[in-house]
Structure 1
Amino acid sequence: MNRQLMDELRRITAEEQQILDGRSGVDKALYTHTRDFTIDSRQMLRDGKLIDIRPHTRFVHFPEHRHNYVEIVFMCQGHLTHVIDRVNRVELEEGDLLFLNQFSSHEILPAGMEDIAVNFMVLPEFFDTAQEMLDKGNVISQFLLSAMRREGGEGQYLHFKAAPLLPVQNLAENMIWSLLKRQPDRRRTNQFTMGLLFLELVNHGETLEAGGPSGGRDQAVMEALAYIQSNYRTASLTALANQMNLPDYALSKLIKTETGSTFKELLQQKRLHQAARLIRETDLPVSDVITLVGYDNTSYFYRVFREEFGLTPREYRQSQPGKENFS
């Protein structure tokens, strides 16, 4: 991250100085006026804002709390431990992203001087543009759908080990810079930037370290989507149903009802978009790409690829600027 930006984020805040001077615990009045410790968007996001940031408060145990907005934690440097729903311990390292849905309950263990995290505080309406940019039926779009409902988000979180993804790091840094420097038209710019960040995470499902959805139908659907994202090469409905202790037919019906697509359609979409990414970003022969994404029938792959993108794999590669015409 840019050194000037890091110096600004590292600076000790007035709240942190009070803690260093001997204050015991966080000052809850800074976050809410309600009896229960639900951090209030009306207090944190003033003047019609849909998004803002604040550095995480260091040097103190941040007690169990909720918030009535979506929180995205970006770990700029160091290490931070979140305990979600009192049982899920999430260790954040430099470059990690943690998404917490509305009303998720969590506490944070004390951070040191060099443990720098930025909290994005986001109202669900901010994600309208990002939703339009995402395909349906992936773990992030389902997370956003749950956020839009403004209910049922208890316990939902997504943890991405995103340090190896340079575009994700750059996009997160761009948003932090834009919000700290109060750039003009930052809302619109950051809505598109957030959408691009989500697309990168969807394209790199292997970075999804863990997710803890709420109970019931949301839990099953989020688990199914996370399974497809991480295991698309070998995924099967039967294996997933066994993992979740559900009958095949019940899981199939639930996925169709909640996402509008069947398990097979979601899996095919993930495989095809992963194949498109490999064709676009590498010089691998198409035959290797077919194997890598989990297909064993070349003719079938060519047919469904053309149906999805309107081009053969070779034509798709030729359409990418600066790419050699490997096949």
Structure 2
Amino acid sequence: MVWGRLVLNKTLLNELMLETDEERGILRGDKAVNKEIYTNLTSDFIIQSEKFLKDDLIMIRKHPRYIDFPKHSHDYIEMNYVFNGQFHQKVANQSMTLRQGDILLLNQHIEHELTACKKEDIIINFIIHPAFFDYILSNLSTGFIQSQMIHFLMNSIFDYNQTGQFLYYPVSDSIRIQEIMSQLLEEMFEESILSKSKIKFLMGLLILELIEQQKQTQQNNFYTEKHTFLTEVFRYIEENYREANLQALAKQFNQTAYWVSKQVKALTNQNFKDLVQEKRLLVAKNLLLYSELSMQAIAEEIGYENISYFYRIFKQKYKMTPKVYQTQLLKKE
């Protein structure tokens, strides 16, 4: 089995060592990053998911070598994986060197700048829409809830405090994690009918393995009393989003609804109602794509009896009606 994995990795390395069109342009003399590949914005350098994801939730691509990347952020979650060599970058003004097998997760609000990779430095970028993690988060057992990863995912999904965060995992010695990464890259090249589904399942498994790795290797001092409070709030929303209300949540804390509301607003800069609505709309998006429920049934499933109100808040959030959104997604699929 070890031999088979080595052969697979050697084959993948040979494929990934080949220059892409972007890399060939750099070698011909392009001295600056072609920002048109990454963003339509002309001011801040924010790499846009629409350039890569379209309507998919995950996209895998090789990071271009031979050129420095200036300071930038993303409107998605990015995962860096060092398949071969090393990767030098500055994350939130903190210099880091990732070694072969290491993984780095960055949320939408953090900036980083990247040193040019050499020929042997093969870095894989996973471009992940925050909505992908909604299903994972909602199915984690309560034993995982006090996790740095969970806090990262909640901040990314709910976008509640716009704080730049990153998680670093030196996991080169984890056979299980390296096997999952190899399988993900194999599906990246396979491009079969089932590849997109396999990638989603493998990514979910990878997140669970990283959570388990963290539990085994470090004591988690990340959570203050405020973070613990916020974790309980989000867990309540995950489990009760259909009928979630502030009074029921306040009862869990043995506090008044006013006190809980004030704490939520102070910690997230959003109202409790807004957080519940965000969760409901994420569920609605999944139902639009993966179920055959009517619009009325979907509205009721997420807690809205008034379908007109559901249409109004959906369009306000996603700039199109649920029906148009569903039609576009199904065409892509």
- Kindly provide the CA deviation profile for residues 69-88 of structure 1, in whole angstroms up to 9, marking residues without a partner as x: 00001100101111012x21
Q: 1:126 to 1:179 in 2, by over 3 A?
A: farther
2:35 alignment counterpart: 28
Q: CA deviation at 1:94?
A: 0.3
Q: C-alpha separation between the residues in 2 aligned to 1:129 and 1:190? A: 15
Q: 1:256 to 1:139 in 2, by over 3 A?
A: closer
Q: Secondary structure at the match of 1:189?
A: helix
1:77 alignment counterpart: 84
For structure 1, the residue ranges without an aligned partner over 5 or more in a row are 208-228, 233-239, 245-250, 262-327
Is structure 2 residue 50 aligned with structure 1 residue 39?
Answer: no
1:64/1:107 contact within 8 Å kept: yes
Q: CA deviation at 1:183?
A: 2.7
Q: 1:33 to 1:151 in 2, by over 3 A?
A: farther
Is structure 2 residue 116 aligned with structure 1 residue 110?
Answer: yes
1:131/1:195 contact within 8 Å kept: no
What letter matches 1:66 in structure 2? Answer: S
Q: CA deviation at 1:125?
A: 1.4
Q: Secondary structure at the match of 1:74?
A: strand
1:144 alignment counterpart: 153
Q: C-alpha separation between the residues in 1 aligned to 2:195 and 2:125? A: 17
1:67 alignment counterpart: 74
Percent identity over the alignment is 30
2:11 alignment counterpart: 4
Q: Secondary structure at the match of 1:231?
A: coil
Give the 5 Å matches for 1:240-279: 251-252=224-225, 254-260=226-232
Q: C-alpha separation between the residues in 2 aligned to 1:113 and 1:154? A: 34
2:274 alignment counterpart: none
What letter matches 1:193 in structure 2? Answer: L
Q: CA deviation at 1:89?
A: 1.2
What letter matches 2:149 in structure 1? Answer: I
Is structure 2 residue 164 aligned with structure 1 residue 164?
Answer: no
1:123 alignment counterpart: 129
For structure 2, the residue ranges without an aligned partner over 5 or more in a row are 1-7, 234-333
What letter matches 1:256 in structure 2? Answer: T
Q: 1:230 to 1:203 in 2, by over 3 A?
A: same
- Kindly provide the CA deviation profile for residues 165-197 of structure 1, in whole angstroms up to 9, marking residues without a partner as x: 111011112112213321323333223222221
Is structure 2 residue 23 aligned with structure 1 residue 16?
Answer: yes
Q: How many aligned positions are there?
A: 222
- Kindly provide the CA deviation profile for residues 294-327 of structure 1, in whole angstroms up to 9, marking residues without a partner as x: xxxxxxxxxxxxxxxxxxxxxxxxxxxxxxxxxx
> What RMSD, in angstroms, separates the aligned Cα atoms of the two structures?
2.2
Q: CA deviation at 1:153?
A: 4.2
Q: Going by fraction, where is helix more abundant, 1 or 2?
A: 2
1:197 alignment counterpart: 206
Q: 1:91 aligns with which of 87, 97, 104?
A: 97
- Kindly provide the CA deviation profile for residues 276-307 of structure 1, in whole angstroms up to 9, marking residues without a partner as x: xxxxxxxxxxxxxxxxxxxxxxxxxxxxxxxx
Q: Secondary structure at the match of 1:92?
A: strand
1:303 alignment counterpart: none
Q: C-alpha separation between the residues in 1 aligned to 2:181 and 2:61? A: 14
Q: CA deviation at 1:133?
A: 4.3
